[in-house]
Amino acid sequence: MSFIEYRGTFYRLLHPRPTILLITLCPNGRFNIMPASWNTPISEEPPTVGISVFREAYTYQCLEYHGEATINVPGIEHADLVYKLGSVSGKDVDKIKTFNIQLIPSETIKVPGWKDALAIYETRVLSKFDVGEVRLYVFEVLKVKVRPGIADEWSLDFTKVNIPLHGAGRVFHRVDPRKVFARKH
């Protein structure tokens, strides 16, 4: 089998990607919320998650102002909201108010979580690296909370809930609820 050169946007072959909602505290004293599909666990010890943020995005300003954030995992039923949140800037619109985002207090940080999330990670910036047009933020995970009854030892239980996997633009995919276990060696 041979390969041909891919002429599309290079990262599209790495999609779909889980989309999270990042809540930050901004210089104007308001909270902001931004969808981010360029995210990944980085380390177990310390527990860290990396999120890539465009340096011209308002969220970048907010993270530089206050280095704490919550990482909120939305359900697939919120795909329209996720898309809308990514279509406007928090610099121009109070997204929390405009989209009626209900916030709940965090236990370890000042930044609240999203009441409708499936899971909430309370985090603080541990490191940051500029790469091209983005800043890669490495967040130390201080606490993880999940809705009761929707997760097992492997992951969220996709027979009970589903998450939006971002493809491109307004395209989201669902997770197949079947688990596939590789054979033990």
48-75 pLDDT, tens digit each: 999 999 999 999 999 999 999 999 999 9
- Predicted pLDDT at 154: 86
Using DSSP, state whether 140 is helix, strand or coil: strand
d(CA 110, CA 113): 10
The mean pLDDT value for 98-111 works out to 98
Contact 123, 49 (CB under 8 A): yes
d(CA 106, CA 160): 25
Confidence of residue 83 (pLDDT cuts 50, 70, 90): very high
Radius of gyration of the chain (CA): 17
- Predicted pLDDT at 60: 98
> Which of 90, 73, 86, 83 is closest to 21 using CA atoms?
73
Chain segment 7-20, per-residue pLDDT in tens: 988 888 888 899 99
Q: Residue 78 gets which letter from DSSP?
A: G
- Predicted pLDDT at 28: 95
- Domains in the chain (CATH in brackets) are 12-173 (2.30.110.10)
pTM: 0.95
